[in-house]
Structure 1
Amino acid sequence: MSFDSLGLHEALTRAVTDSGYDAATDVQAQAIPPALEGRDLMVSSSTGSGKTASFILPALQRILAARGDNTKRREKGVVYGPRILVLTPTRELAIQVAKAATTYGRHVQGLRVATVVGGVPYPAQIKALRGPLDILISTPGRLLDHLQTGKAVLDHVEVLVLDEADRMLDMGFIDDIQTIADHVPAARQTLMYSATFAGHVGRLAQNLLKDARRIDVASHTDTHENIEQRLHWADNAHHKNALLDHILTERDMEQAVVFTSTQRDADWLADRLADMGHAVASLHGGMPQGRRNRVLQGLRMKQLRVLVATDVAARGIDVPTISHVINYGLPMKAEDYVHRIGRTGRAGRNGLAVTLAERMDAGMIRRIQHFTTQNIPVATVAGLEPKSPAPKLFAARPEGGFGGKPAGRPAPGGKRFGKPFAPRREEGFEPRRDNVFASRDAFERKPSEPRGAFAPRPAGGKPAPRHGAKPGFKAQRPRGTFDR
């Protein structure tokens, strides 16, 4: 379907044509017409499907209509706030949406777009919020800060967009989103984009949307026909590094994103690859926003060949020249795997997604195959074949599920595939050496101190129970002060 048949303004269709697009994608063809009618939408669409344009173009159309409506014209010197508010989970995605708004609104005279995200100084953001503003793209946390100080005005928002709502809720923004929605007029139009609308995401949609139209263009079970997936089993960390080095030196590799599980691993691996001569940089949530912007700009300008990133970068990177995605560390959640591999194979190109896994990662590989209902083909590199036999994985059936009994979660201290079970560290919660809680000394017990739930035994009496102990609880002899 051509954009001319969607009912868009001539200035918008001309901008789309200037960007090199002549036909609308499935999500654009299904979402734009009802959005132009003012309907609330619940949209599920895969990465790289053009979903950003599906809500930016109707938003720009509303701005153009307001410019020609004398009843909606704004007086100079009065703070009205934005007409369009877009909430995104990450700074990178906010910047990507702002870029799309500027690109598709290049022929909209006097269009004013602002981004409000964390990691950026407040004065420039406050200045943008107090001036004339059409579209505001923000992360929930920083926008809530401006709301609490009275710097953000949302009394005239006409369209509220929640982009990747499931991710925002996973990051703990549900209360922030609800608070922001309470500051937006109830007569607004709400567009909600999420990979799934089950559970808490569905409940949030019921609270925020009215008579919403459901659009399901793609799901996590769709096959990525232009993305080849491979699974390499590694015996140990040394073997995994050797596999990574081989993949990064292949001739057909144009640019690669290497994903790690933690911020510390991202910095360490980037330093290692830099010492080997690669044009590489790391990207994670612990970096200042200015540095993150420079890293992404270097990737787009092809100054970087390898980007080592955490899952914070899995949503928001849109660089068509990324030919390889390498999972050096597996994601915390199976759905993040889909977003990771979606960084390649964009704009009609072919891509390669490689997962490097050790035996302790077999459980996550099972969950990924269950989530996508697809098997990841196992591959080997000549001369780097694993010496240990590959773990036995249950094949994923098309209807979802495994061809056998799923493995249960090992008990703490138990073993998984012959190795001690260790909980996976989450980004942002790694122990730091300068933190008292990262030191074993913080947990050392002096010989004179008791262990257990009770204070030292008073002379001639029973041990005093700790505060909140239930009546009738049988006291145990404190350990540590007596010979065992």
Structure 2
Amino acid sequence: MPFASLGLSPAIAHAARESGFLTPTPIQSAAIPAILKGGDVLASAQTGSGKTAAFVLPLLHQLLTTPATMPRRVRALVLVPTRELAAQVGETLRALCEFIDTPVKTVIAFGGISINPQMLRLRGGADIVVATPGRLLDLLDHNALSLSDVSTLVLDEADRLLDLGFADELNRIIALLPAHKQNLFFSATFPAQVEALAQTMLQQPARIELPSQQANAALIEQRAIEVDSNKRTALLKHLVQQHRWPQVLVFVATKNAAENLADKLYRAGLNATPFHGELSQGRREQVLADFKAARWQIVIATDVAARGIDIAQLPAVVNYDLPRSPVDYVHRIGRTGRAGETGVAISFISAATEAHFRLIENRQQRRVPRERIDGFEPLETAAPAATLTDPDGTGGIKGKRKSKKDKLREAAARDGEQS
């Protein structure tokens, strides 16, 4: 099925073809016609399903086919949870705009770097802004742009936007947007926070829930290997060497774990580097570029930094540390098995984390058989099961200690009760 058959203009269909989008994916086939009708859309879009093009292509179509009342006023706003995802959306836009005769000005804005170049870029206005919520608010505080003419709002990875604590920022931004606009929510999962926001913002949305998670899961071989915590590094080296993976993405829980594990692997002769939120933006971009070019074999990443990592034909993902939530698990394993390719997602399970992994299995309604590798059989025994609370499917997997953000939220709640 060609893109033109979905209702896109010949110019946009041509740009899609020239940019390498040969045939629409299921999410693109379902979402593009729904978006072009002009109504709100709530779409379940698994990572690797082609969801970025699913909203970018109709956004460009609308810009080119609907005359602007005010030139260079922001007409489309895309909000994303991380810098990497902002860069990924921007890269898709730039690739498509190379094959469009009408100039479309896109500004990508995120924190971690100086705001001045982004403010300069916004001089003279923009057609599309792709931004993280915090940096967008900074730009608004500097009067660098106006949102009064936005006709389409996209929340990309809406579940992660809310899970990462952007609810207050989103509310501030939404209050500055026109009441009448098209709202497009794309989310890999629909936790309670996303459903609640959708009910308050969306008007009779077209709801698109494709069996993409099940389809992608068939392309991703999920494995769970039982191993003691102190043997995980040796097991990881063994697996890399045994399978001869040209590239592998390894997830850990903290910045220190990323640094330490990358250092151990590098000293053991493996080409490994860390990737986390405290690296400079320039360093993060360089690591991603080198990983895509296969100059790094192993990247050790945290969840905060890993949003938007899109490596073609990545053969393997390893959960060295289990993710905080089942939602994070879906996003992690979705880094492999993308665009019709196959991949493997391996989780290291210790006696202490077995209960956590069972919670993940329950959420995805799938049992992953436990394995043991010769020479790495676990000796630890499981401690008495602790009570797990996970009312909305977004927490309870990072360990017994509460996170700093959890503590701050509890303190704020207590203050509110006392006032």
Identify whether the pair has TM-score above 0.5, normalized to the shorter chain: yes
Distance 1:198 1:428, change over 3 A: closer
The reply to whether residue 85 of structure 1 matches residue 62 of structure 2 is no
Q: Does 1:286 align with 2:282?
A: no
Task: Please tell me the residue identity of whatever aligns with 1:211.
Answer: Q
The corresponding residue for 1:40 is 40
% same residue: 39
SS at match of 2:64: helix
Quick check: 1:16 aligned with 2:44?
no
Name the CA distance, whole Å, in 1 between partners of 2:213 and 2:387. 24
Aligned length: 399
- 1:145 and 2:146 correspond: no
Change (3 A) 1:223 1:38: closer
Q: Distance in 2 between matches of 1:423 and 1:387?
A: 22
Which of 55, 76, 92 is the matching residue for 1:100? 92
**Structure 2 residue runs without a partner (length 5+):** 390-397, 408-417
Q: Residues 211 and 422 of structure 1: is their aligned pair in 2 closer, same or farther, counting only changes over 3 Å?
A: closer
CA distance in 2, matches of 1:383, 1:281: 26
Q: Is the 8 A contact 2:49 2:339 kept in 1?
A: no
Structure 2 residue aligned with 1:72: 69
Q: Answer whether contact 2:189 2:327 (CA < 8 A) is retained.
A: no
Judge which range, 311-320 or 219-228, deviates more: 219-228
The Cα of 1:152 is off from its aligned counterpart by: 2.3
Question: Partner of 1:386 in structure 2?
Answer: 378
Deviation of 1:246 after TM superposition, in Å, equals 0.3
Residue 387 (structure 2) aligned to one of 409, 418, 426: 409
Aligned to 1:207: 200
* Counterpart residue number, 2:61: 61
1:287-306 alignment runs, 5 A limit: 287-306=279-298
Structure 1 match to 2:400: 423
Q: How far apart, in 2, do the equivalents of 1:183 and 1:285 lie?
A: 29
Q: CA deviation at 1:123?
A: 0.8
Query: CA offsets per residue over residues 76-122 of structure 1, 9 Å max, x none?
Result: xxxx5321110001111111111111122222232211111010101
Deviation of 1:56 after TM superposition, in Å, equals 0.3
| Cα deviation, residue 207, structure 1 | 2.1
Q: Deviations over 1:135-186 (max 9, x none)?
A: 1100001111111232221121111100111111111111211211121222
Q: Give the structure 1 partner of residue 126 of structure 2.
A: 133
How much does 1:410 deviate?
Answer: 7.7
Q: Does 1:164 align with 2:161?
A: no
CA–CA separation in structure 2 for the residues paired with 1:380 and 1:146: 52
Larger Cα Rg: Structure 1 or Structure 2? 1
- Residues 232-258 of structure 1 show CA distances to partners (whole Å, capped at 9, x for unaligned) of 111231x21211110121344120011
Q: Is the 8 A contact 2:89 2:130 kept in 1?
A: yes
Deviations 1:186-235 (A, max 9, x none): 22111011234442222211222222111111465666111111111112
Q: Tell me the distance in 1 between the aligned counterparts of 2:370 and 2:258.
A: 25
Q: 1:220 to 1:367 in 2, by over 3 A?
A: farther
**1:375 positional shift:** 1.2
- The match for 2:332 is 340
Structure 2 CA distance for aligned equivalents of residues 197 and 285 of structure 1:
26
Between the two structures, name the one with larger relative contact order (CA 8 Å, sep ≥ 6): 2
In structure 1, C-alpha distance between the alignment counterparts of 2:216 and 2:38, rounded to whole Å: 33
Partner letter of residue 310 of structure 2?
D
Per-residue deviation, 1:24: 1.1
Offset of residue 377 of structure 1: 2.2
Residues 227-242 of structure 1 mapped to structure 2, 5 A cutoff: 227-237=220-230, 239-242=231-234
Query: Which residue of 2 is the match for residue 317 of structure 1?
Result: 309
Deviation, 1:382, is 2.9
Shift of 1:342: 0.7
Tell me the secondary structure at the aligned position of residue 225 of structure 1.
helix
Q: CA deviation at 1:73?
A: 5.8
Using the size of structure 1 for normalisation, the TM-score is 0.77
- Tell me, yes or no, if the aligned pair for 1:47 and 1:339 is still in contact at 8 Å: yes
Aligned with residue 250 of structure 2, among 236, 258, 278: 258
Whether the 8 Å CA contact 1:221–1:371 is kept in 2: the answer is no
Work out whether residues 18 and 99 of structure 2, in 8 Å CA contact, stay in contact via their aligned partners in 1. Answer: no
Give the letter aligned to residue 212 of structure 1. P
Is 2:237 aligned against 1:245? yes
Q: CA deviation at 1:381?
A: 2.4
Partner of 2:51: 51
Distance 1:334 1:129 in 2: 38
- Structure 1 or 2: more helix by fraction: 2
**CA, structure 1 residues 308+426, in 2 after alignment: closer, same or farther (shift >3 Å)?**
farther
Q: Secondary structure at the match of 2:15?
A: helix
Instruction: Give the one of 166, 173, 178 matched to 1:180.
Output: 173
Matched AA of 1:372: Q
Measured in 1, the distance between the counterparts of 2:8 and 2:103 equals 19
The separation in 2 between residues aligned to 1:409 and 1:115, in whole angstroms, is: 43
Which secondary structure does the structure 2 equivalent of 1:214 belong to?
A: strand
CA distance in 2, matches of 1:422, 1:9: 51
Give the match for residue 116 of structure 1: 109
Q: 2 CA distance for matches of 1:199 and 1:422?
A: 22
CA contact (8 A) 1:233 1:356 kept: yes
Q: Whole-Å Cα distance in 1 between the matches of residues 218 and 404 of structure 2?
A: 31
Inter-partner Cα distance in structure 1 for 2:323 and 2:404: 10
Structure 1 residues 245-254 or 162-171, which shifts more? 245-254
- The correspondence of residues 394-405 of structure 1 with structure 2, limited to 5 A, is none
Q: CA deviation at 1:133?
A: 1.2
> Residues 321 and 429 of structure 1: is their aligned pair in 2 closer, same or farther, counting only changes over 3 Å?
farther
Over 3 Å counting, the alpha-carbon distance change for 1:427 and 1:283 in structure 2 is farther
Residue 326 to residue 24, structure 1, CA distance change in 2 (3 Å): same
- What CA distance in whole angstroms lies between the structure 1 residues aligned with 2:406 and 2:175? 31
